[in-house]
Chains A and B, each alone.
Chain A
Amino acid sequence: MSRHLTGSQIVCEALLKEGVSVIFGIPGGAILPLYGVLSQYPDLRHILVRHEQGAAHAADGYARSTGTVGVAFATSGPGSTNLITGLATAMMDSVPMVAITGQVGRAAIGTDAFQETDITGATMPVTKHNYLVMRADDLGRTVHEAFHIARTGRPGPVLIDIPKDVFIEMGNYDPDEPIDLPGYKVPGKADEAQVDAAAKLINESERPVILAGHGVVLSRSFDELREFAEKAQIPVITTLLGISSFPENHVLSTGFPGMHGMAYASLALDQADLIINFGSRFDDRIVGDAKRFSVGSKKIHVDIDPAEINKMITVEAPVVGNIKDVFGQLIPKVNKTTHVEWLQHIEHLKAEHPSLRIPETDRLMGQHVVKALSDVTKGQAIITTGVGQHQMWAAQHYQFTNANSWLSSGGLGTMGYEVPSAIGAQVGNPDRLVWSICGDGGFQMTLMELATAVENNLPVKYAILNNNHLGMITQWQAMFYEGDYQAETYTGNPDFVKLAEAYGIKGLRATTQDELEGVIREANAHDGPVVIDFVIEKVDDVYPMIPAGQSVEELIEDPN
């Protein structure tokens, strides 16, 4: 039944119908009419952030950790442009999000009016789709289309730009009006012939490996992945974003490969006779030199996005479909086998190439911190990270035993993701322990959101791996620029404990290995947010490493 409402009310009604309960945002002139009706909708909880980038990353963290669509609000002009890094982050990692931005009034569009930005133009390359809605009558349907696009198929961010006067205009909202997207196809089950071809390759292979990507996480196919791997006894390598799609204490778990992945994982990919890729886009950080990537193997690529097939790597058996559906089709067709010899060989690779050795030293290293966190939390926490050395150490040394617990900007590599994404994850998972593993660099890009954690009493634990450096930059300058260090040292970092205290947050510090367990337990026991300054060794490199564009032949396991 159609109802006559203001544009703002239509937006809120449609958000409720989509099951939205949390919005991250900041108001401004053009979106004030929407904020003006929020008090009528107490079931829409609005969390006021400190910067719109924080709103986008929090919505992203909420979305990744809950599997639902994250929502962000921002005003026109600078509010909307501040969202862009967050939208691009979500786009690269296929995270379902809807951003609603205010726009200047219809009559002012195109006149360089105060706080006018062509945000649909600006965000075209970093959204799955976007809309500029010029009539209140179109708002309801557009919101429903946006959510449908964001969450189905290969998920992604959708932006809806709404002129100020469209929020105020009266329009009709019919919640049952069908969405109208003739150009939008959502793959479900795969073509049976493709599945048969894949099953045949799997049943014939002697040295198969699974490469589990973000698609497994996004489609929540954790149980299916496990059932498949166990039935055919196939080792499971995850991509960086596939981490936590498979329990890392499982015998078949074989790490993650690529630039800073485990050497044994890269070697297993190289030596396999079949790679079964579930929902990974054969990213360049895994593939390196495409011409030399696992030349001896056949490849199956299961992906919901047909445009990913043969984009990086030409494959023998493409399977286009929703990963969850494809598992359902494939599992009955694969033989129950053991691959004893190959699994023994994998064990041998793991023993010969341990990859996770922590330098022997009395000093405190980033790896020690992550290892202690993993031990104390039994691998059960939700972990968010920034980008850099701490991110790689987190990926390597935290042993994830819970599904869907790893939030990291894999595609865009966005420093600053760590602080707000943890807020979103905690809002979405009030009963889970959320640790944010931060770089001292990334932390300072978005630390203003500590205030958001305080205001909303979110007990996020921030572990700063403080090396007073842009550590990953130091490492690259050492390796690829003859040690010509430029702009990688921070000499003016604040006292992070005092900083935390200034926000009214518990601040802790650890400078030795002995203190680790104590401070981590103390943080876990505290029922509010905590910031811990882990003062780690200034210069330390992440290994193993395959330099960009290279292959396993150039793998540097551990130069020390």
Chain B
Amino acid sequence: MKIFATYNIKGGVGKTTAAVNLAYLSAADGHRTLLWDLDPQGAASFLFRIKPRVKGGGKALIRGTKALDDAIKGTDFDDLDLIPADFTYRNMDLLLGGPAKGNTAKKPTRRIAQLLRPLAAEYDHVFLDCPPSISLVSENVMHAADVLVVPLIPTTLSVRTLDQLTEFVAGFDGHRPQILAFFSMADRRKKLHQETIKDLQAERVNVAATPIPSLSLIERMSVERAPVTAFAPRSVAARAYRDLWAELGKKT
């Protein structure tokens, strides 16, 4: 079981859009895939038309009184399942720090990794869609993940975001996730975007060669309530995500 997490401290950079499309592509390749929508806003759940509700709330899941397995919903697509968001996830930091059943790790930063372990026989790939921020949740996600997929808006500031994250992860002892950043919402008409992309791809090894362009079709996902890779598989947008997925397959 390989765990991917889309992460960026910043909001609105394309984390959920990437998680939804990459998970869809993984399942379409025949990998048994699970997406956990960890954001109380429930954007990923919404895109799969699944109600952002977990019986017993986040508390039951994190404490372990309800098995993660029982919260899983099938999406409309073969081999793709989802654990929905829940409004109570907004208190996730508190829950993670609290008591939990069968918590052998004891460390509050390893709880999500521990909860996912029993699913290893059932799924080949897990995607975690994180809310933006630095919190106990995001730290948990970084410890659980094998690969952090980091969307970057092509600005000079984004370089710093990536460097900070790389440094933070380097401080982990034991398991460290691999980082692969990609440019998100890249605008071909903006000279600054093009230059940033070129520079950073030359400088950093962990930046994907495939940028995801800024496209109105991608925005349409919230109207269609489906991954763009599913409802417009031949579009430029879908092709970009497919290239990114292929690159992830090769590099991680």
Q: Do A and B bind each other?
A: no
Chain B contact residues, CB within 8 Å of chain A: none
